[in-house]
Amino acid sequence: MFRVSQEIRLNTSSNAEVTRYSNTTNADSENDCIFGKYQRTPDADAYPTENPLVLVAPELTDPSKVQLLHFPNGALRINSEIDFTIKRNGVKGNFEVKVESPAGMNIVTPLQIVDPERLRVNFCLKEAGLYKVHIKCNSVPLPKSPFIIISICGEPESNVRKMELPIFKSDASCVTHRGLGLTHISLDEKNEFTVDGSAAGNNMLFVGIFGPKGQCDEVVIKHTGNNVYKITYEVRDSGDYLLVAKWGDEHIPGSPFQLSAM
């Protein structure tokens, strides 16, 4: 807000009338006026008795430059410790991280300064379900925020018997997909999409859908031949869903997909 100083004349006989200062020799007019310097705000109708409010805008921010290092991928067990790094890449400003638990509680997570370019984020998954990590810089959300973390119940990793899978020669980046079931969800209806791995080599397709109340009620994967699959699923609860599709151990392009059912 800009302020200017100017010569003005206050007419005491009319209370509200304000005119610009001008020289006059009329004695009667001088008796009715108080001359002096007053500060005013442009387009203001009255002179405030308090200092004006000064608004400070944050520095322009390009959040697309910010990187998240070591952010977890896939499902994690309860009580797992989350530890990742925010790299500024020259972006100035204040960062804010809020973790939304499966129960809907928002917790502001303190940030540890590693160096001028890096901030460390650390918290623990206390319950099973879908966690949302909201990250902002100068009140501007980062692209793809909120970031999703899934916490599941299960035995410790050391007690789980691992089954060794054969080694496949494949490239998940060559998998293609199409269908409305990857862009939006219709409640209580069959949602469909197709995954084409014909150009991605030999491997297995894994599809999982996680929603507000856990795993999706029904997911059907049908192989139609030549590594082309038709997937149908049905959900009954509104809210946010995470759809994961992997070709072997690797995500297909676009996975995980963030969807909403209204």
pLDDT digits (tens, 9 = 90+) for 164-189: 656 778 899 999 999 999 988 888 88
Residue 15 inside a domain? The answer is: no
In this predicted model, which residue has the larger pLDDT, 54 or 33? 54
Tell me the C-alpha to C-alpha distance, in Å, between residue 170 and each of 165, 217, 252: 14, 30, 11
The count of domains in the chain is 2
**Chain-wide mean pLDDT for the chain?**
78
* Euclidean distance between CA atoms 170 and 152, whole angstroms: 29
Residue 162: band (very low, low, confident or very high) from pLDDT cuts 50, 70, 90:
low
Residue 237: band (very low, low, confident or very high) from pLDDT cuts 50, 70, 90:
confident
Residue 54: band (very low, low, confident or very high) from pLDDT cuts 50, 70, 90:
low
Q: What's the domain range around 110?
A: 63-152
Nearest Cα neighbor of 191 from 231, 162, 244 is 231
* Euclidean distance between CA atoms 78 and 128, whole angstroms: 6
Residue 47 inside a domain? The answer is: no
Whole-number pLDDT of residue 228: 94
What would the two tokens of residue 7 be?
A: 């010569």
Residue 104: band (very low, low, confident or very high) from pLDDT cuts 50, 70, 90:
confident
Show which of 120, 152, 184 is a domain's final residue.
152
Question: Can you give the length of the chain in residues?
Answer: 262
Contact 87, 99 (CB under 8 A): no
The mean pLDDT value for 55-72 works out to 75
Residue 196 inside a domain? The answer is: yes
Whole-number pLDDT of residue 153: 78
Could you read off the pLDDT of 16-32 as tens digits, one per residue? 444 343 344 444 444 44
Tell me the C-alpha to C-alpha distance, in Å, between residue 24 and each of 10, 114, 218: 14, 69, 90
| Domain shared by 183 and 113, yes or no | no
| Domain shared by 143 and 67, yes or no | yes
| CATH code of 87's domain | 2.60.40.10
What would the two tokens of residue 47 be?
A: 């002179």
What would the two tokens of residue 242 be?
A: 């995470």
| Domain shared by 144 and 218, yes or no | no
DSSP annotation of 27: H
Name the one residue in this structure whose structure tokens are 């009667």: 28
Nearest Cα neighbor of 210 from 249, 253, 243 is 243
Residues 222-243 as b/e (b if ≥16 CB within 10 A, e otherwise) read: eeeeebebebebbbeeeebbbb
The angle formed by the CA atoms of residues 87, 93 and 97, to the nearest 5 degrees, is: 65
The mean pLDDT value for 216-222 works out to 85
Show which of 96, 117, 152 is a domain's final residue.
152
Name the one residue in this structure whose structure tokens are 């995980």: 256
Residue 224: band (very low, low, confident or very high) from pLDDT cuts 50, 70, 90:
very high
Count of CB atoms situated within 10 Å of the CB of 214: 16
Q: Is 18 helix (H, G, I), strand (E, B) or coil?
A: strand
Residue 56 inside a domain? The answer is: no
Could you read off the pLDDT of 113-158 as tens digits, one per residue? 999 899 999 999 988 888 999 999 988 899 888 999 988 876 544 4
The yes-or-no verdict on residue 3 having pLDDT over 70 is no
